[in-house]
Structure 1
Amino acid sequence: MRARARRVLAVAATMAVAGTTLTGCFEEPSAHEAVRDFLVGWQSGDYDLAAGRTDGDPAVVRKALHDARVHLDAASFRFHIRSLTENGGESIADFDAEVDLGENNSLWEYTSRLPLHLVDGVWKVRWSPSVIHPQLKEGQRFAVDPKPEVRRPVLDRTGEPLQADTTLYVAGVTPATLGDNAEKVGEQLAALTGFAQDRLLSRIRSAPPRTFVPLVTFGWRKYASLKSKLDDIPGVTIDEQKQPVAPAPPEQIVGRVSALTAESEQELGGPQRAGDSVGLSGLQKAYQDHLTGSTQTSVITLDLKTGEQVAELKKWPGRPNAPVETTIDSSIQAASETALAGTRSAVMVAVKASTGEVLAVSASDNVKEDKALAGKYPAGNAFSIIAAEALLRKGVKPSQRLACPAERTVGGARFEQTGLTAGGTQSFQSSFARSCVTALAALARRVSGDDLDKSAADLGIGKPWKLPLNSFSGKVGDLDSDADKAKAIAGQNVEVSPLAMALVAGAVASGTWHPPLLVTKPPTPDPAAEVLPTTPPAPVALDAKVLPVLRAMMRSGVRSGTAGAAAAGGEPVHGIAAPVTGKSKNQAWFVGWQGDVAVAVLAENADPAAYAGRFFAAVRDPA
């Protein structure tokens, strides 16, 4: 509606220019004046002016010009004279017409001509319907015939839809059955739905009379609440349509779909029509135009007596729609749902370690799934994976002995060990596996800030990648001092998303960090999407000498460390369970992998390794 209003205002602004131009060109009384007045009157809606310049019955001419606008549901007409020739008492004016059909359709452009002759010394347009368009004859009218496409689905990696069909209830009319009630129907539907009455009425009047015209679409609940009132509107019928709009897990990633409402029509200001479906969130919103395409539209002429099509004057094929193909693996998604069933506050992301493809995203009922992609959480001791990569590159041995006191101060920053019995000494590998923050923080002096920054970048933290949905690659704070570096090792000045940490696990598992991938087709979302992906950064191969050692340390996290609950049958599970120390002591991470499936779990007041174990077991033995 807003887009249409802008076009009408623009046309109004150009009217004065058009009128001045036409007037300035013709200084002497001639056929020029008749052409000018007729076209300016038609263009501006001053049908009396236009009719007065013809030799036809003024009432007939006025109605014909008015009906042409109504039957085309035209936002505006504009005309440009190509040539004018006179031969005695006869004249011919050739002109170009531009008709804005509204609804964000293309302009309909055609060339026509005005035959003129002298009537009692005054130039008059010889009236016939062909003045409006060369192919419009007596006993005919224009009509606009739209053919919308049914919304296409969002698919998983195997091509199966990630939503189920839902019945939508489309209220519409067949104009020929309304008689003189069209205006009343438009008024009653407008009052019931909030759609503008004039838009509903023009939709009815511009349609082929024997064609069902969809006007408003309802979901089940809305339809049930309005059914009795809809039944009371004469001529309105309900067409039940199955459309793929009920999202399957991951529901918030796939996104919700709604019927177009009066409010959303005004907000979108795009090619949607009353009766269309609109993506409200997730991929359904990001790929709205791709999933719906654009309506095929034809301008036709109809026989007034039979209602049959006589000719097709112009056809816009519209933009074809297509499914959105994702990397989601429905069986792995089901495993993640099983793992978090009944949990209070947890999120999980699983990726394909060798490619970075997002396989599953899930969350507890009270947590939004998009937090798994875009949440900004303290990294906690999970950042020790990245720190360990830097420390191993700097020559720190897994066997190096480290004290694990209850408290330690590094460069003025104080750290406390929680969840384990402190005291004694243990190896670097054991401190890593058991997530002893006071031991690991002591190694801050063994690496530079640049060393930690490089490892973070190599493992994707802070990399400039974006998914078609909101996402967060992480951020590392300043690393100017030993205190800063110690805080980073403990993850206290580092923010990450679960997706970013799943990619870290995948990088260690495969040997190469890969940017995340969620949608394989189309390569980019709609231009109007809130988030537009950047060109993904290149994969990064990790240090081949460090990898075997780091993998062994990750394996020890499950075999002898705090991540023992993640153990599952089948291939070995690698990973660490890492608390978030500092202000968020009730949160903890599991970051690890089994086979080619890497996962990150963030849980509150619970053991994330247990959730990971349930996940890996469900992947191995799906229900």
Structure 2
Amino acid sequence: MTVMGRPRRTVSAALALAVMVPTLSACFEEPSAHEAVRDFLVGWQTGDYVTAARRTDGDEKTVSKALEDARIQLDAASFRFAVKGIKSEGGEAQADFAAEVDLGENNPLWEYDGKLPLHLVDGRWKVRWSPSVLHPRLREGQRFAVDVDPESRHPIVDYTGDALQELASLHVASVIPAKLEDPARLCEQLSKVTGFPKDRLLSRILSASPSKQVPLVTFGPARFAKLRPQLEAIEGLQFSPQKQAVAPASPEQIVGTVTAVTPKTEQQLGGPQRAGDTVGNDGLQRAYQEYLTGSTKTSVITVDLKTLEEAEELATWRPGRAAAPVQTTLDRHAQKAADSALAGGYRGMLVAVQASTGNVLAVGSTKEYNQETDALAGQFPAGTAFSIISVEALLKAQVDLKQKLACPQDRTVGGARFHHSGPPAGSAPTLQGNFANGCVTALASLARRIDPAVLQAGATEFGIGSGWTLPLKSFSGSMQPLKNDAAVARALAGQNVSVSPLSMALVAGAVASGTWRPPVLVTAPKLSDLSAEAEPPKVVPPVELDEKTVTTLRALMRTGVTSGSARTAAAPGDPVHGITAAASRDRKPLAWFVGWQGDVAVAVLVDGSDSTAGATVAGRFFQNLRDGM
């Protein structure tokens, strides 16, 4: 019987055998008992059951079948044996051996000590056959079986511990082995309907306790409805509904979807997955698949063949870590506020973080964008939102923010052309006014006064290009080399700086709190706890910002809401600070809002040429938070 889709240790077993056989054959020969011990154990280990049986005093067919049945009943990938010693006296002998059984299913090796009683039969040593030869506690009228108890999938939870999934109905197809007339036929029929390997299905049945319900395949509602007529036609197959918290709540693409294991996902995961198991397809459900599903308790037992009840437990273990919830920083209240703010006909994204911690509170998006690959990991031009980062370089260049600075519609700097498409900055604009209104041409004109190294250092302080790590895809930003005035001007205009909404929300949080902090999405488990073999993630420390820079930025970003183009972000409660910015990606106009209210910092990126659209979404978000949505 071929076993598919399961990690096995057969190669190592074969190597061990190659080492053991010469040792046994070179040292022992008849008339001692050693040759009989060697032939029996090597025959059992390699599956040459006839050779092994001939070294016993039992009926050859009976012993051969018992050895083969032991492998089937344990669903064993391999047996390995090592002789510990042989004692003989007259015509009697006893060999002590160590057994190592690979049960597969990612279980540890089952190790036990056995004994082979031997006696002379017509001048040849024979193993005195009884079931106890297979295991010292196996008796006549008993068989082996493997009992499994998988842990249920644990939830992903928000910062309060509430599950971010809802109950969904799954359907489990199972059998009771003792009630099946033809298990092989059932497995062949089920394999044709589901695609699961028939040999794998059969081995689960044959190794299970005969009187217990054995789940074989789990179906989601749609797949079960589609296959139900074919499944109900399989005699002996039983069905039962099972409620599991697998339907993701918002933010769905961050939490991730969960489905029942299919032949395809079983192969992708490398096995072994059992019926009732679920697999995370994306988001945190995928990133923490092994942590959420934990391990399966496995017991090797003996079963009474008359009563079909468990006689004795020989060994039990639950390998690996116990399953546990994944604790996130997500806030249901903030998430609902974000979803509602984006529901007003806009197409875009909103990321909210706690300014004082960097904790991700909400990730919202309309259907045109993906919350992970766009909101967390998307690479978008910063536009004049990058001017937040430019302020320190301007201050160090001793630029007076109140100085008059024209905001023409078009300007050329170092050969690079810039166009301001937003509202005018007033009849006598200042740098402060141009900042508040995101005037591209005015900001670009300052390129020759800025030290590129200072501008680059400022970007680093605000986390652009830093190596922070999340369990999902994410992008901290990047800046092209500032080799000349044109490159510096493009940076001031945010044209050669790529950022994600997440990275810009962290920029807003840095101004609000005075310290830039890396983002946090999951608080337990730590990324370093997921795999002992994986390289620990890089620790990115917080960066305390220059006090003068922060004070200036707070004033500028407050002006952006009170009298600049970010006025639509205003909301009751704590003062709202922020700026708007226009950008373009693949000739598609985009509108940014970057700012905060209280301890909640946001970045909004919306499609369209209306540079105030992002601020409008942010204003709705802050209002929703206040209204308790």
Global fold match (TM > 0.5) = yes
Residue 373 of structure 1: aligned partner = 376
**Amino acid of the structure 1 residue aligned with 2:419:** E
1:615 pairs with 2:618: no
Summarize deviations over 1:20-79 as a string: whole Å, max 9, x none: 332222245431111111111111111111111100111211111111111111111011
CA distance in 2, matches of 1:152, 1:581: 42
Q: For residue 276 of structure 2, what is the aligned residue in structure 1?
A: 275
Instruction: Select 1:50's aligned residue among 49, 52, 63.
Output: 52
CA contact 1:287–1:529 (8 Å) conserved in 2 = no
CA contact (8 A) 2:418 2:441 kept: yes
Output the amino acid matched with 1:32: H
SS in 2 for 1:456: helix
2:436 partner amino acid? A
2:499 equivalent in structure 1: 496
> Is 1:67 matched up with 2:69?
yes
- Higher mean C-alpha displacement, 483-492 vs 7-16: 7-16
Change in Cα spacing, 1:334 to 1:532, as seen in structure 2 (3 Å) is farther
How far apart, CA to CA, are the structure 2 residues paired with 1:424 and 1:25? 104
1:555 to 555, 558, 566: 558
Per the alignment, residue 416 of structure 2 pairs with: 413
CA contact (8 A) 2:4 2:199 kept: no
User: Could you list the per-position Cα deviations for residues 584-607 of structure 1 after superposition, in whole angstroms to 9, with x for gaps in the alignment?
Assistant: 451121100111110001111151
Alignment correspondent of 1:545: 548
**2:592 matches 1:589:** yes
Q: Find out whether 1:76 has 2:97 as its counterpart.
A: no
Shift of 1:154: 0.4
Residue 209 of structure 1: aligned partner: 210
CA–CA distance in structure 1, aligned partners of residues 307 and 389 of structure 2? 76
Note if contact 2:397-2:450 (Cα within 8 Å) is conserved in structure 1.
Answer: yes
CA distance 1:530–1:565, change in 2 (3 Å): farther
Do 1:589 and 1:608's aligned partners in 2 also have CA atoms closer than 8 Å?
yes
Is the 8 Å Cα contact of residues 390 and 447 (structure 1) preserved in structure 2?
A: yes
What SS does the corresponding residue of 1:365 show, helix, strand or coil? coil
Residue equivalent to 1:166 = 168
- Give the corresponding residue for 2:433: 430
Q: 1:205 to 1:345 in 2, by over 3 A?
A: same
Q: Which residue of 1 aligns with 2:193?
A: 192
C-alpha contact (below 8 Å) 2:88/2:94 kept by paired residues: yes
Please, what is the CA RMSD of the aligned residues? 1.9
Which of 462, 466, 477 is the aligned partner of 2:465?
462
- Alignment of structure 1 residues 209-608 onto 2, 5 Å: 209-318=210-319, 319-343=321-345, 345-370=347-372, 371-421=374-424, 425-524=428-527, 527=530, 534-580=537-583, 584=587, 586-605=589-608, 606=610, 607-608=613-614
TM-score scaled by length of structure 1 = 0.96
Q: 1:301 to 1:6 in 2, by over 3 A?
A: closer
State which drifts further: 471-480 or 388-397: 388-397
Aligned twin of 2:105 = 103
Distance in 2 (CA, whole Å) between partners of 1:352 and 1:211 is: 51
Deviation for aligned residue 1:547: 1.6
Query: Letter of the aligned partner of 1:613 in structure 2?
Result: G
Q: 1:147-166 counterparts in 2 under 5 A?
A: 147-166=149-168
Task: Work out whether residues 587 and 604 of structure 1, in 8 Å CA contact, stay in contact via their aligned partners in 2.
Answer: yes
1:602 match: secondary structure: strand
Residues 85, 95 of structure 2: 8 Å contact kept = yes
Aligned residues: 622
Shift of 1:425: 4.2
Following superposition, the deviation at residue 394 of structure 1 comes to 3.5
Q: Is the 8 A contact 1:328 1:360 kept in 2?
A: yes
Aligned pairs for 1:26-37 within 5 A:
26-37=28-39
Query: Which range moved further: 130-139 or 259-268?
Result: 259-268
Give the drift of 1:616. Answer: 1.0
1:178-226, Cα deviation, whole Å (9 max, x unpaired): 1x32111111111111111111111011111111111100000001111
- CA deviation profile, 1:395-449 (whole Å, cap 9, x unmatched): 3222121111121122222211112247854111100001111111111122211
Q: Unpaired segments of 5 or more residues in structure 1?
A: none
Shift of 1:355: 0.6
Which one of 177, 186, 200 corresponds to residue 179 of structure 2?
Answer: 177
Question: In 2, Cα distance between the equivalents of 1:438 and 1:300?
Answer: 79
Measure the CA separation in 2 of the matches of 1:533 and 1:426: 51
Relative to structure 2, which stretch is displaced further, 259-268 or 512-521? Answer: 259-268
Residues 352 and 603, structure 2, Cα contact 8 Å, conserved in 1: yes
Deviations 1:118-172 (A, max 9, x none): 0000110000000000000100111111111111110011111111011111111
| Preserved CA contact (<8 Å) 2:583 2:591 | yes
SS across alignment from 1:199: helix
Q: CA deviation at 1:237?
A: 1.0
C-alpha separation in 2, matches of 1:312 and 1:91: 29
Q: In structure 1, how many angstroms separate the alpha carbons of the residues matched to 2:28 and 2:127?
A: 17
**Structure 1 residues 532 and 466: CA distance shift in structure 2, 3 A:** farther
Q: CA deviation at 1:485?
A: 1.0
Structure 2 counterpart SS, 1:580: strand
**Greater Cα shift, 72-81 or 559-568:** 559-568
Structure 1 segments (4+ residues) deviating >6 Å = 528-533
Distance across 2 between alignment mates of 1:583 and 1:262:
40
The residue type equivalent to 2:627 in the other structure is: D
On the 8 A contact 2:5/2:266 being kept in 1, the answer is no
Label 1:322 to 1:398 Cα distance change in 2 as closer, same or farther (>3 A): same
- Aligned CA distance change for structure 1 residues 2 and 389 (closer, same or farther; 3 Å): farther
